[in-house]
Structure 1
Amino acid sequence: MRPPSSAVARTAELRAVAGLSGDRPALLSRYHSSPLKIAKAFSVRAGDARQLAVVQMDGSPGMLEGDRYLFDWRLTDGVHLYATNQSYTRIHPCESGGTAELVQKFDLQAGAVLEWIPEPVMLFRDARFKSETEIDLAEGAVCMISDIFCPGRLSRGEAFAFGSCDSRLTVRCGGELIHYQRQKWEPSSLPLRNSGCFGEYTHVGSFMAFSDLITAAHAEKVREAIAGAHALLPDGVVWGVARLASRGIAVQVAGHAGWKLQKLLMIAWDGVRRELLGLPPLRLIREAWMNGAEENEKAVPGQR
């Protein structure tokens, strides 16, 4: 039995409301506690309209054992928000039996659009991570969300050396549960290299879109967009697109480097913006990863 954790619990919060101020999107209210903060918020062109863009920031070196981050975003009627963070979410070793925990809540009112496209999560050796995301959608709202999990700094021999990773996603539309999933990985208990888990790959990711506006045709268009961009796709990445059982699209990817998965998921994101919203691609953050991986995430020999 694992001994009780001796880590000190620390909670940090970021709460914000995005809405329309006159005819322009803006942050109507915000609250954050250290080390979390909103680094920048600005309005950008989205076709013939404007949307709000926000960059969240973690002023610490990463999440330590006992850290608990709470993100609570509310979008009022008709506002369009793109949000991301400034760097990888790094989960440091949890050697006393505790965890680092991330809780995200997104509440979208009628006609609101959220694009939550964060940088990947990096699980260091002995990291123990819990993630719980809840999304509530009103009629006509659209939520796009992506995630990528990196199993350690491969150049330091940390592939699948983390303690555990437990991720949950709950989505409701009009109060009705339309999607729930849970992934829990414990390398010491389950050989993740099995064909039923990661197989020959080290990194996995997903891009999902939820809305009562989504149809089977949208999923097919996204599949065609990825297949049609074969010249731009990085090598060594596998992918699939599916329409969810109710009001959603899921794109799943696997490969050997986080930046490669980001590149493919960006094509999926562009496809949903174009097919569902009639909007062109949105580019705000650095794209250095388009040409290579981070130093700490170099692939081990034979995997590049």
Structure 2
Amino acid sequence: MPHVFQQPPLKASRELYEGDNPMATVYVMESSGGMVAGDRNDISIKLLPGSKVRIIQQSALKVYRSHTGETCVQSIDAELEEDARLEWMPEVIIPFADAKFKMETTIRLAKNATLLWGEIIAPGREMRGEVFDFSSLKSMLRIYVEDELIAFDSLHFIPENMKLQDLGMLEDALYVGSIWLVSKKADCLDLRAIQEALNVGDGLRAGVTRLAGNAVHCRFLGVNQWRLQQEMKRVYTELSALI
């Protein structure tokens, strides 16, 4: 990495390589252990032409109770130049009871760049009985290719004002996961085969959609975090190998 700027509690590891794989792996770490009321994380990523990197969060992102009523904000901006490739491994966002969290993600790609991006949202600390006890959670993701908006995904949960278990909402699901893929090879993917190979059932539902602009979106709804996370990582690894 030619340029790195970091300020505690956020830290980026040096780039790591596995075998002869030219893709660099970089870990993003947060030494504070989580976000508290009013905290803001800003992450900016720029990949020069031909760069290949996989970014992994060291652990789940914990958002603590907002004692002051302020909202925690995480902003991620990524720019991929020609023939660059970025993979962001999915990790869990855990909003504690009475937490307020907003995440804004903007990704801009050159025409021949490749993106694989994952996100998982938990209902809270389920094992402690905190299920949708947070105050609010909003996630907005925008993906541009050559300045053309090809995907806009907005999830906004306010449990106190929403009947999340109703028909057409989350119903019996507790966890929401997404995988986004943008690649010039996306049109060659057999989505029917990917859909039929999904290990769904037993509280896990999933669907695959082809978007305009050489993009694919996979959405997961699950009752069990481990089950959803394992299936998402399987699909993520499969898609990574295909592109």
Q: With the length of structure 1 as denominator, give the TM-score of the two structures.
A: 0.76
Cα distance in 1, alignment partners of residues 191 and 213 from structure 2 = 12
Specify the alignment match of 1:211 in structure 2.
183
Query: In 1, Cα distance between the equivalents of 2:160 and 2:140?
Result: 20
Secondary structure, counterpart of 1:28 in structure 2: coil
% identical aligned pairs: 29
1:80-136 Cα offsets, whole Å, 9 max, x none, are 100111111000011322100000011000111100014200010001100000000
Match of 2:28 in 1: 56
Aligned to 2:209: 242
AA aligned opposite 2:186: I
Q: Which residue of structure 2 aligns with residue 298 of structure 1?
A: none
> Partners of 2:91 and 2:99 in 1: how far apart?
18
Segments of structure 1 that go 5 or more residues without pairing to the other structure are: 1-26, 277-304
SS at 1:222 equivalent: helix
For the residue of structure 2 that corresponds to 1:266, the secondary structure is: helix
- Quote the residue 2:237 is aligned against: 270
Distance 1:73 1:192, change over 3 A: same
Q: Which amino acid aligns with 2:63?
A: I
- 1:216·1:243 contact (CA, 8 Å) conserved in 2? no
Provide the rounded CA distance (Å) in 2 between the counterparts of 1:147 and 1:217. Answer: 21
Instruction: Decide whether the 8 Å contact of 2:140 with 2:153 is kept in 1.
Output: yes
The equivalent position to 2:155 in structure 1, one of 164, 183, 202, is: 183
1:36 correspondence with 2:3? no
Deviation at 1:221, TM superposition (A): 4.4
Question: Quick one: distance in 2 between partners of 1:49 and 1:34?
Answer: 30
State the match for 1:145 in structure 2: 117
Structure number with larger C-alpha Rg: 1
Residue 30 of structure 1: CA displacement? 0.4
The answer on whether the counterparts of 1:148 and 1:258 sit within 8 Å (CA) in structure 2 is: no
The answer on 1:162 being equivalent to 2:129 is no
The SS at the match of 1:41 is coil
Shift of 1:49: 4.5
User: What letter matches 1:258 in structure 2?
Assistant: Q
Change (3 A) 1:234 1:55: farther
CA contact (8 A) 2:138 2:156 kept: yes
In the alignment, structure 1 residue 65 sits paired with structure 2 residue 37: yes
Unaligned 5+ residue runs, structure 2? none
SS in 1 for 2:162: coil
Q: CA deviation at 1:237?
A: 1.3
Which residue of structure 2 aligns with residue 131 of structure 1?
103
Question: In the alignment, which residue of structure 2 is the partner of 1:119?
Answer: 91
**Bigger mean CA offset, 102-111 vs 215-224:** 215-224
Using the TM superposition, give the Cα deviation of residue 152 of structure 1 relative to its aligned residue in structure 2, in angstroms.
0.9
Correspondence 1:171 to 2:143 = yes
Q: 1:96 aligned to 2:63? A: no
Deviation per CA, 1:17-53: give whole Å up to 9, x if none: xxxxxxxxxx1110100100013421224xx641100
From 227, 231, 235, the equivalent of 1:260 is 227
Distance 1:164 1:155 in 2: 20
Amino acid of the structure 1 residue aligned with 2:210: R
